[in-house]
Amino acid sequence: MTGTPSPATAPVPTPPAAASPQMGKRIQRAWQEETLLLPLRDAGHARRLPGQSKHSRLAGLGGPAHVELLGTGETFAAWRLRAEDGTALLVRIPWHAPAHPLADELAALTQLPPDVGPEPLALHDDAESSPLGAPYLVTTPVPGRILAPAQWTRDHLAAHAERLAHLHRVATPGRGPVTLGADPWERMESGRLSLLELFEADTESVDAEVLAGVGGPGILRSAAQRLRAADSAFADLEGFVLSHGDLCATNIVWDAQVPRFIDFEWSMGDDPARDLAIIGGPVHGGPWYVPLTEEEIEDFMGSYLHARARLDDASELPRLEGQTPLLPARTLDPAGLHARRDAWEIFEKTAMLLHVAGRVAERRAADDHYSTALPILRDTLRARLGAD
């Protein structure tokens, strides 16, 4: 028997790849049909998200628009939409499962201080009902360009430290994801942080091919030893802050000499030292990390501490409409912060080394940035650890 399948038996179409031309057409069509910013179940009125500035209301919905792919990162494809009425949007679509739910990222964006990152506009986390056939997050665009690690100067580091201090002015009562709703901190835990425990859990089972790519288990043992030795530095952690969680060079956009942050997939309440460690240091490689000497790290940390002290002493700080009131800021201990920064560098760069080795094993390509970065990242980490 032939004919059109009934709705109950019709095959479900496979959504186009997140970075494909077909996805670009879907974004354009959803904008024209006025469904891109509105969940299909509630298309009668626009949603205002908690923390969304009243000044960011869009000029209009629908009509002609130009859509272009900006690029793909480790998790997302980023598309820019420009409408004829001047509206500009950024649509981020995961090309594989994000490390954290999109709703957690959106919740973190609603708590950002002004001018730190993008403003959230819409979320569609249900692929089945999504007008794009995939989950996506819509934000305001962040103008500017990403600098390669070799382009960074001490002025860039000082400006980055200043912007980071603004982000970290948002104190949190514990470590964990931000939540949409009346209490954005309800899922955070205030217990003692142990990087060694996190590291051991993350490296309990590493693929044999990946382990071979990093030079064997010795580097993991050396990293664990360094984290064990640094564990006491976390006993006096002053408090947690809203952290970006992945502030490498590719997630910092520069408009002249002014930096802003993008891609808050890993954002959560966390130790401020984590964000200080990720930008770079003695361990580097690829487009992500800025090579830094100990003197440059000291200058960077000094700029951050100076900015934090100035901001924490301010009687009033700007906040977006609907944001949770600021918690009292905690006085930072420079020595403790520096010791935790060094520990986070080991933790984060070891995790990235395993990730890069995994990408090389998957792709088996000799000419991509993962293959180029792998030996540099591995050798600089081994030198930092004094590993065999």
What value does the mean pLDDT take over residues 213-240? 94
What does residue 283 show for φ and ψ, rounded to 5 degrees?
A: -95, 120
Report helix, strand and coil shares of the chain as percent, to nearest 5.
40, 15, 45
Mapping DSSP to helix (H, G, I), strand (E, B) and coil, where does residue 219 land? Answer: helix
Q: Which two tokens stand for residue 241?
A: 């802050």
DSSP element (H, E) containing 251: none
Nearest CA to 213 among 371, 327, 57, 365?
Answer: 371
Largest CA distance in the chain: 77
Alpha helical stretches, state H, the chain: 21-32, 102-109, 154-168, 195-202, 208-213, 218-230, 272-278, 294-312, 334-363, 369-385
Rounded to an integer, what distance in angstroms lies between the CA atom of residue 255 and that of residue 321?
25
| Res 7 pLDDT > 90 | no
Q: Worst-scoring range by mean pLDDT, 101-115, 192-206, 363-377?
A: 363-377
Domains 21-54+64-139 and 145-385 share a fold: no
In the chain, what is the straight-line distance between the N-terminal and C-terminal CA atoms, in Å? 69
Cα separations in angstroms, 316 against 55, 238, 309, 311: 21, 22, 14, 9
| Res 58 pLDDT > 70 | no
| Res 29 pLDDT > 80 | yes
| Res 40 pLDDT > 80 | no
**Is residue 80 very low, low, confident or very high in pLDDT (cuts 50, 70, 90)?**
very high
**What is the pLDDT, as a whole number, of residue 96?**
84
Residue type, 197: E
| Res 60 pLDDT > 60 | no
Nearest CA to 372 among 360, 388, 383?
Answer: 360
Residues 6+ apart with CB under 8 A from 147: 156, 249, 252, 254
Give the pairing of strands 252-255 and 258-261: antiparallel
**What is the pLDDT, as a whole number, of residue 286?**
93
| Res 320 pLDDT > 90 | no
What does residue 240 show for φ and ψ, rounded to 5 degrees?
A: -100, 160
Rounded to an integer, what distance in angstroms lies between the CA atom of residue 56 and that of residue 46?
13
**What is the pLDDT, as a whole number, of residue 178?**
96
What DSSP string runs through 235-249?
TT---EEEE-S---G
**What is the pLDDT, as a whole number, of residue 99?**
86
| Res 353 pLDDT > 50 | yes
**What is the pLDDT, as a whole number, of residue 125?**
87
**What is the pLDDT, as a whole number, of residue 217?**
93
What DSSP string runs through 274-339?
HHHHHTEESS--TTT-EE--HHHHHHHHHHHHHHHHHHHT-S-----TTPPPPPPPPPP-HHHHHH
pTM comes to 0.87
**What is the pLDDT, as a whole number, of residue 379?**
96
Mapping DSSP to helix (H, G, I), strand (E, B) and coil, where does residue 201 land? Answer: helix
Residues 6+ apart with CB under 8 A from 365: 371
What CATH class is the domain 21-54+64-139? alpha beta
Report domain extents, the chain: 21-54+64-139, 145-385
Q: Which two tokens stand for residue 60?
A: 């209009």
Residue type, 61: L
What value does the mean pLDDT take over residues 238-261? 96
pLDDT, averaged across the chain: 87
**What is the pLDDT, as a whole number, of residue 319?**
64
| Domain formed by 145-385, architecture | Alpha-Beta Complex (3.90)
| Res 61 pLDDT > 70 | no
Residue type, 22: Q
Nearest CA to 102 among 132, 122, 87?
Answer: 122
Rounded to an integer, what distance in angstroms lies between the CA atom of residue 285 and that of residue 278?
12
Contact 91, 118 (CB under 8 A): no
